[in-house]
Chain A
Amino acid sequence: NAGVTQTPKFQVLKTGQSMTLQCAQDMNHNSMYWYRQDPGMGLRLIYYSASEGTTDKGEVPNGYNVSRLNKREFSLRLESAAPSQTSVYFCASSEVGRDRASYEQYFGPGTRLTVT
């Protein structure tokens, strides 16, 4: 199992450009998440998808859109990139409804995005 995979690993954009970050998981999880990581702030939730066909805003959704393409894939789109979106982006997945002892989120390796 590859777990959670993300593409690309690195990206440099100019202000105003758009791009889509891709995420896929092969663990048959229902829930998927997008986080951004900034120094001293931990990880903050951008959007999540509790199940295929549903998406919800997290703590910092402004400037982003998401698509839950199918059960495996959850993409994050920046329509018009801004320097404030320079960050490391992590995708994660988890199962919903399992017993408490089993619950955890699994993370991908991250995408380092720089907006100049």
Chain B
Amino acid sequence: AQSVTQLGSHVSVSEGALVLLRCNYSSSVPPYLFWYVQYPNQGLQLLLKYTSAATLVKGINGFEAEFKKSETSFHLTKPSAHMSDAAEYFCAVSVDAGNMLTFGGGTRLMVKP
């Protein structure tokens, strides 16, 4: 069975600072990996996904993530935080198209002016 760990349930950065949200996974087979973003009182929106093509994945709103098999990690980064990035971010893993997603516990990102 697969699992996902997101280190840090809350992360606070200043506007303009680097955003780094950590995600580690466990999977016995090559995984699909996803980052979703949830704005207050809304559903989940796909930010980016890794599906075995390039290991550096670019997503929407300037976010990117790098798949590192040796570290079983898929950390999310953004060079410069914006106030509008304040939201909850979820890392998720699936081992097969059509199979269930397993989510991490989520990281709430706060951006200070």
Which residues of chain A have a CB within 8 Å of any CB of chain B? 4, 30-31, 33, 35, 40-45, 48, 50, 58-59, 90, 92, 94-98, 100-101, 103-110
Contact = CB atoms under 8 A, between A and B. Distances in A.
A107 B44 contact: yes
B97 A109 contact: no
Interface stretch (B11-19, B73-81, B100-108): B100-108
B100 A58 contact: yes
A33 B106 contact: no
B70 interface: no
Interface of B: 4, 6, 9, 32, 34, 36, 42-46, 49, 51-53, 90, 92, 94, 97-98, 100-106
A59 B101 CA distance: 11
Given A90-B44, A109-B43, A43 B97 contact: no
B97 A97 contact: yes
Contact of B105 (A40, A50, A94, A101): A40
Contacts of A43: 44, 90, 92, 101, 103
B100 A48 contact: yes
Contacts of A30: 98
Contacts of B46: 104, 106
Give the 8 A-B residue pairs with the shortest CB-CB distance, closest first.
Answer: A42-B103, A96-B98, A100-B51, A103-B97, A107-B44, A107-B43, A109-B43, A43-B103
Given A40-B9, A43-B103, A50 B98 contact: yes
Nearest to B90: A42
Contacts of A105: 101
A103 B42 contact: no
A96 B103 contact: no
6 contacts: A30-B98, A43-B90, A95-B97, A101-B53, A105-B101, A106-B46
Contacts of B32: 100, 103
Contact of A100 (B34, B45, B97, B104): B97
